[in-house]
Amino acid sequence: MLITIIAVSLVLGGLIFFHELGHFAVARSLGMGVSTFSLGFGPKILKRTWGKTEYALSLVPLGGYVALVGEQEDSELPEGFTREESFSLRPAWQRLLVVAAGPVANMLLAWLLCWILAFGWGTPLLLPQVGGLVENGPAAKAGVQAGDTIVRIDGQPIVAWDDMTRAIARSNGQPLSVELERPHKAAPNGAEGAAGEDGTPTDATSGQDSPPPSIMTVEIRPEMSVRKTIFGEDEKAWLVGIRNTGAVRLVQHGFWGSAAAGASQASDMLALTWKSFVKLVERVVPLDQVGGPIMIMQMVGKQAHEGIAGLLALAALISINLGVLNLLPIPVLDGGQIVFCLWEMIFRRPVNARVQEYAMRAGLALLVALMLLATYNDLWRIVKSAGWFGSGS
C-alpha cells in the first residue's frame, strides 16, 4: 500500500507539475506576472514566496493551477504587480502560447520518459514468429507451422512483425514468396535441449550437436478477410492466417538514438490516444470504458509493484492523455481558451463576454459530468470485481 501511495503521488504530482510548469515558464518568459504557482487545489499546506510569486502545495492533489496576474480585464492587480504584467492586456497570440504551453509540456514529458526507457531498457520489437495458425488458412495450406520464423518475403528481410504485416498488406492478394526458418524438432522422448560441456545444444538420442534450424521457402497467397481492430471494429485486410507468439527483442540505442526512438514511441502513443478520443465520440468505444482517478491510481499501483520500466511507460501514456484531454475545445480547459484566442486573432475582436460566460458554464457542467461518469465506472468495476453482483465475469 505504501509503495502504491508513493507511486501515485509521484506520478500524478509530476504530471501536474510539468503541465503547470509549461504555463508558468512561457508566461514568465513573455514578462507576464504570476501571483501563485500551486500543486493541488484547496487549502495550502505549504507555501513560500520567491520574488513576486507564491509557490504552494495544496491539500487536494487532483490538479494544480498557475494564477496569472490580470486573467480578466476587470481583475484587481495583486500588490507589487503592474498593468504591463497583466495577462488579459497581452496580444491574443501571446495568451495562446501561454495556454497551449501546459499540454505541450505534457507531450514533452512523455517524450523524455520514452527517451529514458529507450536508453535504459531499449525498445521492444515484436518478432515475426508464428505462434498459431488459422485452420485451412493460406499459411496453413502452404505448410507453415507454429514455431516458424518469417525471415524474408519476396526477397526483402523481415526483422519485425510489422515488417511482415506491411508486406502482406502491399501484396493485394498476389502470391508471396516467404522464406521460413524452422527450428530443429525435439526428439520423441522429450530429451531435446541437453547441453554439452561447452554449453552447445546436443541431441540426447545421439549425443551430437543439434542440427541448425531448417530454411525453406513457401508460396502464400493472402486472402481478403475481416478482422477486429483494437477498438473492436470490423475491418477488411489481406491476411494469411497466422498469429504471433508475443516474443519480443529489446533493441538497444545510443543516447541520441534513444531520443529518436523515444520520439517515435511518444508519437505512437499520441496517435493512439487521439484515435481513442475520436472513437469515444463516435460511440465505437462504449462510455463504460471511460476511467477516472481511481482507475489511474490502480494502474499506477500495479505497475509500481511490477517494475520501474512499466511505471515510466504508464506515466508517459497518462501524460499524453492529460495533454490531449486539455486540448479538447471545452471552454474550461486549455483547448477552449485556445479557440477563444484563435477567434480573436482571426476576427480581430474577442468573443463576446456573455458568450464566454455561458460557454464556461456549459463547459464546466460537461467536465463535471465526465468526471462523475468516470468515477461511476471506476466504482462499478470495483464492485463487479469484488463479485457482489455475481462472478464479475
Q: Which residues are catalytic?
A: 20
- Residue 308: which of 103, 120, 72 has the closest Cα? 120
C-alpha cell at 305: 509493484
For residues 202 and 195, the answer to whether their CB atoms sit within 8 Å is yes
Q: Which helix (H) or strand (E) holds 368?
A: helix 353-386
Extract the runs of DSSP E, i.e. beta strands, from 78-233: 123-126, 130-133, 149-153, 156-157, 176-182, 214-220, 223-228
C-alpha cell at 227: 478482422
Q: Alpha carbon of 258 to those of 200, 253, 310: distances in Å?
A: 34, 5, 17
**DSSP annotation string for 122-167:** -EEEE--BEEEE-TT-HHHHHT--TT-EEEEETTEE--SHHHHHHH
Phi and psi torsions of 123, nearest 5°:
-110, 135
Q: Which residue has the cell 531520443?
A: 259
Q: Alpha carbon of 111 to those of 7, 267, 269, 310: distances in Å?
A: 20, 8, 10, 15
| 243, 244, 246, 250: CA torsion to nearest 10 | -160
End-to-end CA gap in the chain:
26
